[in-house]
Structure 1
Amino acid sequence: MSHDTPAGAPAPHTPAGRLVGATLGLGLVLTLIVLAFTWPAVTADAKDLPVAITGPDDAVTALTDQLEEARPGALDLIEVADRDEAVHAVETRETYGGIVLGDLSAGEAPEVLTSSAAGGVTHQLMNQIAQQLQTAVTERATAAMSERMTAAQAEAAEATQRAVQDAVSAALAAAARGERPPAPEGPAPAPDPMTIEIPRVTVTEVVPLSDDDPNGSGFTAALFPTLLGGMIGGIGISIAVQGALRRVVATLLYAVLGGGILTGVLQGWFGALQGDWWWTLAALSLSIGAIAAPITGIVALVGRAGIAAGPVLMLLIGNPIAGVTVPKEFLPWQWGEIGQWFPPGASGTLLRDLSYFPAADPANAWIALGAWAAGGIVLSLVGHARTTTES
């Protein structure tokens, strides 16, 4: 018996089981999206954040113990030879900041090196360390002054007592000789007033943000169009272009075009990026290709169902562990390091290096992006070869 719906008749209602299943499935998707975008911010916590430190051994040891007590496990203090080496460590992104300890007894004030270009969270943390140092220096200077005042007062009291004893002895001696006792000398002079000279902790920005983006919000916002642009390109090409090889060509052309557009807007117009124009163009083009190519490659293998690979791989997995809004060290376990090998994390690191840290080594970021782009192209070629063989 046929159950075909007559022409013009209303479509049958969706079965209750399918309705419930679709609702639960969409709820699961919503849950994953919420977790993906809120999990990094909620769980982020400083852990083994590399910070350079230099100074006298006893001062370094004392401060290390103090910071470990105040922030257990938060910092990984790396001893360096001198201030120049600490600055170099910040410029090459080996550390997020530095602490230069001088000889306080010689009046050398500590210095804290920071970099707002490395991230707002770490810049704030280094400023908090500077405040802690200033508090410790103030307490030490105040205690030293108190000791000096106590010693001076004791010395003055001892001098007065000696003067009284000498006067009494002189009077007795004069009386024994039948002479008039000498007039007593005036009181011992009071100790000179002392002033507290508290060394001031200096905070030096080694790599500051640009004047065009003083808060770093422009740089952070600039990374999302790269992710979105790559996904839109991969999905759009998968739908609009037929043929695996043609999709490869379209992806390459789109990556260069998209990189040029983003470079013109984000660097040329808004000033959110600060690197050399051509290097920025190359980085953005490769970033878009690293996101778009895997999508078209998976579609070449499994068909239109592969379109979902973009949102899953890049948005739900790669973006939360990219370490863009917070340092990778703030993420639990090794997710921060893993995130640097996904396109969102690699592109964020590469663009930050090109904009603010020319002395850093961005090789891993180039390799990661190149591997994703090449992998996507290989998948497209494999899909093309399989389709040709089957036909």
Structure 2
Amino acid sequence: MNALQRALALGFGAALIQALMLIAFAWPAANTAPRDLPLAVTGPQAGMVTEKLNQFSPGGFEVSSPADEAAARQAIKDREVYGAIVTGNGAPRVLVASGASPAVAQQLSALAQQLSGAPVSAAEDVVAADPDDPRGGAFGAMVLPLVMSGLAGGVLLSLLVPTVTGRLIGLVTFGIAGGLLSMAIIQGWMSIVPGPYLALSAVAGLVSFAVAGTIVGLATTLGQAGIGLGAVTMLLIGNPFSAATSAPEMLPQPWGTIGQLLPPGAAANLLRSVAFFDNAAAMKPLVVLLAWAALALILLGVGFLKSRGAAPAEAAATPKTDPVPA
């Protein structure tokens, strides 16, 4: 391939990458809508409201019917539902949780007014987002730097540290230092995420280790092709389908579900549980992140065994030379 052909191939390749990135990031945002979104409806008119919900948005809501308003509030705090509509004594009242998703909270507030056909009281925020980030924009923007820094750390360790042991030491150092430093900035300086500092730092550190470790593990076993595979998985699939700014049930399926099985989506979900909901519904995203961290360690172990096996083979392939007589 001459220089002109190489230039044309690189140009078309860059255009293809650009098109894929546009699809990955713009398509989910353009198709945001409720899809089996968990919602509680209670009160004497719960049946009528549920029927209107099904007419207004078929398949949009997965409606549960708690016994009363107190049970609906508890379901919100346990992250079983994103909000509740309470009927009786006048127009329906709306309970939301902007800590779970400011975007969903806004949609539920607007939906209640459309259902009633008359002005309704302002929605009550049962679990509010941080007052310094009421719309959740900073929280959503926080996930991408965690993923990008994990990618960068994984690439640097893969290219600059030759031994598997050294890469593992670098990963552990990155996870601990990155988690503590990132939460010091997010909580201490920006003050946009409430909750226990050490627990949130542990989550951020686990995310850093899982993302960077996956890159390093794939690079150790597959070479430079592993870096590309890991980057595509985390950046082009994991990040746009993480639902960090909305909710998994607001994204096209099955991508909303798949996004929660990747580190970016699990990170956003776990951070919300720890910061706003006193660890409610934290087990599933924690298991996902631990599984990715374990996968990274397994890949590093495979790479270590390969390197150990390659060393004797290279020694055996080296020709022996007879000593030259004096």
Q: Give the TM-score, by structure 2 length.
A: 0.90
C-alpha distance in 2, partners of 1:282/1:16?
A: 50
Whether 2:212 is the aligned partner of 1:292: answer yes
Correspondence 1:12-51 to 2 at 5 A: 14-51=2-39
Match of 2:71 in 1: 85
| Alignment counterpart, residue 214 of structure 1, candidates 129, 134, 137 | 134
Match of 1:323 in 2: 243
**Greater than 6 Å deviation, 4+ residue runs:** none
| Alignment counterpart, residue 117 of structure 2, candidates 129, 135, 144 | 135
Q: Deviations over 1:21-77 (max 9, x none)?
A: 222222111111111111210122211111101112xx2222222222222222222
- The residue type paired with residue 329 of structure 1 is E
Which ranges of structure 2 fall in alignment gaps of 5 or more residues? 312-326
C-alpha distance in 1, partners of 2:114/2:20?
A: 40
- The residue type paired with residue 96 of structure 1 is Y
Q: Deviations over 1:259-313 (max 9, x none)?
A: 1110110111111221201101100000000100011111111223322233211
Correspondence 1:1-391 to 2 at 5 A: 14-56=2-44, 59-102=45-88, 107-135=89-117, 201=121, 203-358=123-278, 360-391=280-311
3-state DSSP of counterpart to 2:99: helix
C-alpha distance in 2, partners of 1:257/1:359?
A: 23
Give the superposition deviation at 1:202.
5.5
C-alpha distance in 1, partners of 2:31/2:2?
A: 41
Q: Give the TM-score, by structure 1 length.
A: 0.76
- Aligned residues with identical type, % of pairs: 35
- The residue type paired with residue 59 of structure 2 is G
Computing the radius of gyration from Cα coordinates, the structure with the larger value is: 1
- The residue type paired with residue 222 of structure 2 is V
3-state DSSP of counterpart to 1:117: coil
Give the superposition deviation at 1:226.
0.8
3-state DSSP of counterpart to 1:46: coil
Q: Deviations over 1:103-147 (max 9, x none)?
A: xxxx455321111222222111111123134425x7xxxxxxxxx
- 8 Å contact kept, 2:270–2:286: yes
Q: Deviations over 1:241-263 (max 9, x none)?
A: 11112101111111111111101
Which ranges of structure 1 fall in alignment gaps of 5 or more residues? 1-12, 139-199
Q: Deviations over 1:175-207 (max 9, x none)?
A: xxxxxxxxxxxxxxxxxxxxxxxxx54621101
- 8 Å contact kept, 2:96–2:126: yes
- The residue type paired with residue 39 of structure 1 is W
- The residue type paired with residue 259 of structure 1 is G
Q: Superposition RMSD on alpha carbons, in Å?
A: 1.7
- The residue type paired with residue 257 of structure 1 is A
C-alpha distance in 2, partners of 1:238/1:379?
A: 13
Alignment CA distance shift 1:94-1:237 (3 Å): same
C-alpha distance in 1, partners of 2:34/2:66?
A: 22
- The residue type paired with residue 253 of structure 1 is T
C-alpha distance in 2, partners of 1:292/1:359?
A: 25
Give the superposition deviation at 1:352.
0.9
- The residue type paired with residue 44 of structure 1 is T
